[in-house]
Amino acid sequence: MTAKDDQPSNTTNLSSSEDTNDDEPDEWDKRIEDTGCSAENSRLTDCYADNGRDWRKCVKEMHALKECWAKKNNNERTQLK
C-alpha cells in the first residue's frame, strides 16, 4: 500500500440522480418567490453579506422588505392556522 492509498479521498462521486443544479430554484427559493418580495429579500441578504453581517447597516433594506411583506399580505398568508 502506498502513502497515497492511506489518505482518505475528499472527492465524492455523485450519481446522475444526486447531481444538483445551482441554477434551479430550490424549495426555499420558491417560497421566497411566492411572497412577491424576492427582490427585497435579495437586497437585504446581499447587504447583510456585504457589510460584515451587521444588520444595523441594512436598515433601509430591512424596512423595504417589511413594507413589501405587509403590502403583499404575507402576514395573513403565512399565519399558522
Q: Tens digits of per-residue pLDDT, 49-72? A: 999 999 999 999 999 999 999 999
> Has residue 63 been placed in a domain?
yes
**Over residues 14-38, mean pLDDT:** 77
Predicted confidence at residue 13, as pLDDT, reads 45
For 61, half-sphere exposure in the C-beta direction (CA atoms, 13 angstrom radius) is 19
Phi, psi of 63 (to 5 degrees): -65, -40
Assigned domain for 17 exists = no
Instruction: Assess if residue 65 is contained within a domain.
Output: yes
Domain that holds residue 64: 27-81
pLDDT at 42: 97
20 is a domain residue:
no
Side chain identity, residue 34: D
SS3 content of the chain, % helix, strand, coil (to 5): 60, 0, 40
pLDDT at 48 over 90: yes
Residue 39 located in a structural domain: yes
Q: Is residue 18 a part of any domain in this protein?
A: no
User: Would 22 be classed as within a structural domain?
Assistant: no
* CA 11/CA 38 separation, integer angstroms: 34
Provide the percentage of residues in the chain whose pLDDT is more than 90.
Answer: 60
pTM over 0.75: no
Classify residue 14: in a domain, yes or no.
no
